[in-house]
Amino acid sequence: MRLTPVLVERTLSQFKAEAVPDSHPAISQLNRLFGNHTFFLDANGLNIVEPTGPTRAGVQKGQIVNVASWSDADPQRLEPHEPEPTDVVVTLELKH
pLDDT digits (tens, 9 = 90+) for 38-93: 999 999 999 999 999 766 677 889 999 999 999 888 878 999 999 999 999 999 88
Residue in 46, 47, 49 with CA at minimum distance from that of residue 77: 46
Give residue 30's identity as a one-letter amino acid code.
L
Considering the entire predicted model, what is its pTM?
Answer: 0.90
**Please, what is the end-to-end C-alpha distance for the chain in angstroms?**
21
